[in-house]
Structure 1
């Protein structure tokens, strides 16, 4: 009995985390050094990121092999030079799906990858906008054109370093120096009904993703952001900005629920006989208490409850499947023991 509860404890901790995809974005500020790459890859694994958007990787054809061999999952690279630009999208080792298509829209600065993960169709855009304002305007115009080609059934995740802000009052500690490019980006966001997931979660909070000290003056700005379509905003939760020693930029992350995608398949009815299962009742109690503690991670109580109902369904289905696999394994072992006994009996005769 104790053994069963011990297994279920770890099983459902794992299950709760796997009910979502974790996206992250980071301007790594150069990553040609092998030690820094290993530190980056360790950091991504510690953050349990499913998909990571990287900017300023400084990759080229000479060190592409190192990236592809050192990272244990899939890595899609778009090269800049050995001293500037370069973007990459890393997929966690647990995801084996092959990208549907890859578009290198602006080498080293704009990369689109279409992929299907857990039944959800994504168009992933990784952007590293130029530092020069006039070049950035042209860059955002190209991005606007690229977004136009995305099919309607795809979920857009637009992430990266935009090198400008939309609202300098909240997202900078000084005036926006690139107003024209900022307006160009704002027009794009409005046109495609995109929302900034972190700003949606923290409407009035000031927190920066980039800091620079120059002549005893500190410049701060929230240059790194993740945008998604307003229509799917409810699937995204737990958006946060995390300091890291790997770069002068901070790590930006968000999670997207993958449980809701199962709602359309069929009508599910709870098997009331589970309530007579002592192990199920104790396991469900632990599951639900854990889920209640995650309430603060969601945008609203209704979002938490909607996703929670699907979690209950998945919990029950996985419990039944898990017990079925144990039963099948036990039966198989009994059959093997029976064969062994028969063989021994034949030997005695």
Structure 2
């Protein structure tokens, strides 16, 4: 595991957080190591060697059950439906593409719109709010 990632994860673990989400994660070979070493349930959507890849890690000390999961094969998203002792929630981790791809977001909305849970959405949406501030000249 890269040292920077290890340092961040160690700090988060010291805070006893229930959920950790990563994006731009290239960890396919480290998957079993991460889960065993850190004591978290790990759900990965692997990208390629130089793009995408997301993961959700859930603390095993947290009382939960994952009752549904949708994992994008291209490393773009993980959607988890989780039951806790106090409520049901949907946790979404997404790494949107750099190019304009409205269908990805339409598809995500279709998957989420009928859920009767609290929804936590995390990740890198790669959505430009102001094209005048966009630094990627190909998009201008």
TM class by smaller structure: 0.7 to 0.9
1:111 matches 2:95: no
Matches within 5 A, 1:1-349: 32-33=1-2, 35-60=3-28, 62-105=29-72, 107-133=74-100, 136-150=101-115, 152=116, 154-166=117-129, 168=130, 174-176=132-134
Tell me how large the CA RMSD over aligned residues is: 2.4
Contact 2:63/2:84 (CA < 8 Å) preserved in 1? no
Q: How far did residue 92 of structure 1 move?
A: 2.3
Contact 1:57/1:88 (CA < 8 Å) preserved in 2? yes
Based on CA coordinates, which of the two structures has the bigger radius of gyration?
Answer: 1
Q: How far did residue 82 of structure 1 move?
A: 2.9
Cα distance change on mapping 1:95 and 1:46 into 2, 3 Å: same
Give me the TM-score of the superposition, normalised by structure 1. 0.36
Say which structure, 1 or 2, has more relative contact order (CA 8 Å, 6+ apart).
2
Cα distance change on mapping 1:52 and 1:115 into 2, 3 Å: same
Q: What do the CA deviations read for 1:193-252 (whole angstroms, capped 9, x no partner)?
A: xxxxxxxxxxxxxxxxxxxxxxxxxxxxxxxxxxxxxxxxxxxxxxxxxxxxxxxxxxxx
The runs of 5 or more residues in structure 1 that have no matched partner are 1-31, 179-349
Q: What do the CA deviations read for 1:282-334 (whole angstroms, capped 9, x no partner)?
A: xxxxxxxxxxxxxxxxxxxxxxxxxxxxxxxxxxxxxxxxxxxxxxxxxxxxx
The runs of 4+ residues in structure 1 deviating greater than 6 Å are none
Higher strand share: 2
Work out the CA distance in 2 between the residues paired with 1:146 and 1:91: 22
Q: What do the CA deviations read for 1:109-146 (whole angstroms, capped 9, x no partner)?
A: 1110111123210011111100112xx32211211221
